Chains A and B, each alone.
Chain A
Amino acid sequence: MTTDYETHIKSGRRLKSDAIHGILFTAPAITGFIALTLIPMIVSLFLSFTDYSGFNMPKFTGLANYQKMFSGEDLFFYKSLKATAYYTLLSVPASIIFSFAIALLLNSDIKFRAFFRTVFYIPTIVPAVATAVIWLWILNPDFGLVNTLLMKLGLPVSSWLFDEKSVIPTIVLIGLWGTGGTMVIFLAGLQDIPKHYYEAIDVDGGNSFHKLFNITIPLMTPTIFFNAIMAIIGSFQIFTQAYIMTNGGPNDASLFFVFYLYREAFQRSNMGYASALAWILFIIIVVFSAIILKTQNKWVYYEGEKA
């Protein structure tokens, strides 16, 4: 179908390198990045080597902040890092699979599609307190819906948010109700898959599974890639849910890293130390994202890049 163009490509008629236009188009973004992000980042990197409360002149203290973290003197560092890593490990695959599945359902030829799409987006727009109240009721260990149901079925019950062991999986579960944004991105991605690809499978006598695995998933890899990177960035920086539902408890089991560093920055006046914590998290996120970026060539398929 595209043989004409493949000829062009092979004959070297692809778009030429064009730095001037490249920079022209990206200039607003690059300016914004330098001014709004890069400079503040450099300042915070500098502050991470200081004793700074937000109110004093920063005092240079070398690696002291970092030493405090790794020496075990900081009683919350490893604990909150572990909680956050555990959360990320569970949440990234869970949220992507869940929202992809919902997006597929919502993309099928069903009635009331607009209504259902809206329904699944709703938890992202109602105030977090409303969502929290509902979940605290549904998952209440003593009289919640879920435990009542489990008991009737003779299944073991859980303490959900009130047990150190189950609190993080529970937050992951609740988090699935807030993946409306990811779902919408998947939906948009699904729309961009050319219909005639599916028609080809129909002609060959393939079924829905062939369509899903041979067309949908390969062509959705750029979107999956995007959502995976975003999920990693977002999960490592999880904050709100812990704040509203558990306030870090029980026994600091859900004291997530950014929750902790926010507390250090603005409620304990340790901005210098909070900066150091932030930079450690930065390095962790960069490493994980880089791994995914590196593997990109192996599994992400770009129509615009095929050659």
Chain B
Amino acid sequence: MKKTIGNISVYIILCGLGITFILPLVWMIRSSFMDIAQIFILPPEWIPNPFTLNNYIEAATMAPFGLYALNTVIILVFGTFGTILTATMAAFGFSRLKWKGRDLVFSVILSGMMLPGVVTLIPQFIGWKTLGFYNTFVPLIAPSFLGGGAFNIFLFRQFFMSIPAELDEAAVMDGASYASIYSRIILPLSKSAIVVVAIFSFMFHWNDFFNPLIYLSDDTKYTLAIGLQQLQGQYVSAWHIIMAASTIVVLPCLVVFMFGQKYILEGIVMTGIKS
């Protein structure tokens, strides 16, 4: 009895809060089927009247979204792969290996996140330009292969440090190399963390507007996020069309998250370390 009451209250909380969390999505989707005049009526009207698909048709003709999607996918596939590869490697080095200065180096890397990026933008830009990579995908992808950012390294490190030390010690005694400890023990035990970082990395590259804008100059290389911004005019924003395009752009994120979160599941159930 007590359990059911507890359960019911959990559902009540989740549903009650959940409605407010889902409202922006509902607002966006219903706006995408509306005339612009209906979108901002207050209190909001939730049923499009008249219902129209025109916004989608118009959005599709306004910018080459297919091309932008392709560019985005190229960047995010490489970006996500690189991030997972090099961030897990770094995190392995910062958590499972012992070496002098390890924690100091790690702290310094962490501190890189503490300076607002606004003021490092120009030197970074000059750097990439000097190397001849302005107007290429390199500045958008390469950072992922160079550690993938302190956030991800730190996240992986925290997860790796929760894995019982006995595991790799046993492996070392069995003569395993560090490379195989990394790939055979640590990575398989960190599925949840890898999925989380993959989701974050996907979302980041998918929605990143700022970096592509700064580092690309040919519109044939533009990404979806820039395409969305292109729908906004200086004085006038066609919100009905923006919402239609946004719905299309958000949809893959939803699918990726729904698909991905399934794998955030019992990562370490097999920790029966009885050899």
Q: Tell me the chain B residues, 132-184 only, with Cβ under 8 Å from chain A.
A: 143, 145-148, 150-151, 153-155, 158-166, 168-170, 172-173, 178, 182
* A137 contacts chain B at the CB level, 8 A cutoff: yes
User: Judging by beta carbons under 8 Å apart, are A44 and B264 in contact?
Assistant: no
Contacts of A193 in B (CB 8 A): 268
In the bound complex, CA of A15 to CA of B168 (Å): 8
Q: Residue on B with the closest CB to A113?
A: B261
Q: Tell me the chain A residues, 18-73 only, with Cβ under 8 Å from chain B.
A: 18-19, 21-26, 28-33, 35-41, 43-44, 47-48, 54
* B53 contacts chain A at the CB level, 8 A cutoff: no
Kindly count the residue-residue contacts between A and B in the assembled complex, taking CB atoms under 8 Å apart: 313
User: Judging by beta carbons under 8 Å apart, are A122 and B25 in contact?
Assistant: yes
Assuming the A-B contacts A116-B14, A122-B24, A130-B25, are A237 and B116 also in contact, with contact meaning beta carbons closer than 8 angstroms in the complex? Answer: yes
In the bound complex, CA of A250 to CA of B28 (Å): 27
One of B57-65, B73-81, B104-112, B216-224 contacting the partner:
B104-112
Q: Residue on A with the closest CB to B92?
A: A25
User: Judging by beta carbons under 8 Å apart, are B143 and A2 in contact?
Assistant: no
Q: Residue on A with the closest CB to B166?
A: A5
* B241 contacts chain A at the CB level, 8 A cutoff: no
Beyond known contacts A102-B17, A191-B266, A282-B111: 20 more, CB 8 A cutoff: A5-B170, A9-B165, A15-B96, A15-B98, A23-B93, A26-B105, A29-B147, A32-B147, A33-B146, A41-B115, A44-B123, A116-B14, A116-B18, A119-B21, A122-B22, A127-B246, A189-B159, A229-B110, A261-B116, A271-B119
Q: Tell me the chain B residues, 210-267 only, with Cβ under 8 Å from chain A.
A: 228, 242-243, 246, 250, 253-254, 257-258, 261-262, 264-267
Q: Residue on A with the closest CB to B246?
A: A127
23 CB < 8 A contacts A-B = A13-B169, A15-B169, A18-B178, A25-B89, A25-B92, A26-B90, A28-B86, A33-B147, A41-B120, A44-B120, A110-B10, A117-B261, A122-B22, A125-B250, A130-B243, A188-B196, A192-B162, A194-B271, A222-B158, A289-B114, A302-B162, A304-B165, A305-B165
User: Judging by beta carbons under 8 Å apart, are B264 and A302 in contact?
Assistant: no
